[in-house]
Structure 1
Amino acid sequence: MSQKPRTSQLVDKFGRTVSYIRLSVTDRCDFRCTYCMAEEMTFLPRQQVLSLEECLRLARVFVDLGVTKIRITGGEPLVRKNVLWLFQQLGRLEGLKELVLTTNGSQLERFARPLVEAGVRRVNVSLDSLDPDKFKRITRVGDLNKVLRGIAAAKEAGFAGIKLNTVMIRGVNDDEFCDLVQFAVDHEIDIAFIEEMPLGDVGHSRLHTYYSSDDALALLESRFELVSSTETTGGPARYWRIPGTRTKVGFISPHSHNFCAACNRVRITCTGELFPCLGQNDSTNLLPLLRAHPDDDQPVRQAIIDAMGIKPRGHDFNLFQAKPKVIRFMSVTGG
Structure 2
Amino acid sequence: MRSSCPDSLDTGKKSLLVDTHNRPVEYARISVTSQCNLRCTYCMREEHEPHESSVPSLKKHEIKTIIDVLAGLGITKIRFTGGEPLLRSDIVELVEHAKNTEGIRKVTMTTNGLLLDRYLQRLTDAGLDALNFSIDSLESERYHAITRRNEFERVRANLSKILASKSIRVKVNVVMMRGINCEEMAEFVGLTREDPVTVRFMELQPFDDNQIWRTGKFFGADKIREMLHDRFPDIQQTEGSSTEFFGFRLPGYKGSIAVIPAFTRNFCSCCNRIRITSDGKVISCLYEKEGFNLLPLLRSNSDHEALADVFRSAVAHKPEDGKHAAGNSFRASMSEIGG
TM-score (norm 2): 0.91
User: Cα offset for 1:167?
Assistant: 0.4
Measure the CA separation in 1 of the matches of 2:332 and 2:151: 26
User: Cα offset for 1:36?
Assistant: 1.1
Are the counterparts in 2 of residues 267 and 274 from structure 1 also a CA contact under 8 Å? yes
Are the counterparts in 1 of residues 134 and 172 from structure 2 also a CA contact under 8 Å? yes
User: Cα offset for 1:191?
Assistant: 0.5
Q: 2:84 aligns with which of 61, 68, 76?
A: 76
CA deviations on 1:226-265 (whole Å, 9 max, x unpaired) are: 2222242x64543222221121111111333221111111
Higher mean C-alpha deviation, range 7-16 or range 215-224 = 215-224
TM-score (norm 1): 0.92
Measure the CA separation in 1 of the matches of 2:134 and 2:66: 26
CA deviations on 1:207-242 (whole Å, 9 max, x unpaired) are: 61110111111111223232222242x645432222
CA deviations on 1:94-130 (whole Å, 9 max, x unpaired) are: 1111100100010111211211111111111011111
Partner of 1:185: 193
Q: 1:121 aligns with which of 129, 139, 155?
A: 129
Measure the CA separation in 1 of the matches of 2:305 and 2:47: 39
Measure the CA separation in 2 of the matches of 1:66 and 1:39: 40
Measure the CA separation in 2 of the matches of 1:270 and 1:127: 22
Are the counterparts in 2 of residues 23 and 70 from structure 1 also a CA contact under 8 Å? yes
Measure the CA separation in 2 of the matches of 1:129 and 1:189: 16
User: Cα offset for 1:186?
Assistant: 4.1
Are the counterparts in 2 of residues 185 and 247 from structure 1 also a CA contact under 8 Å? yes
CA deviations on 1:113-161 (whole Å, 9 max, x unpaired) are: 2111111111110111111001011001141111111112212433341
1:1-335 paired onto structure 2 within 5 Å: 5-43=12-50, 44-45=52-53, 48-206=56-214, 208-224=216-232, 225-232=234-241, 235-294=243-302, 296-316=303-323, 325-335=329-339
Identity of aligned residues (%): 32
Measure the CA separation in 2 of the matches of 1:317 and 1:163: 30
Measure the CA separation in 1 of the matches of 2:155 and 2:260: 22
Gaps of 5+ in 1: none
CA deviations on 1:174-199 (whole Å, 9 max, x unpaired) are: 11112211133344421101111101
What SS does structure 2 have at the residue aligned with 1:316?
Answer: helix
Measure the CA separation in 2 of the matches of 1:102 and 1:205: 22
Pairs aligned (count):
329
Amino acid at match of 2:187: D
What SS does structure 1 have at the residue aligned with 2:309?
Answer: helix
Measure the CA separation in 2 of the matches of 1:46 and 1:256: 35
User: Cα offset for 1:86?
Assistant: 1.0
Gaps of 5+ in 2: 1-8
Are the counterparts in 1 of residues 138 and 156 from structure 2 also a CA contact under 8 Å? no
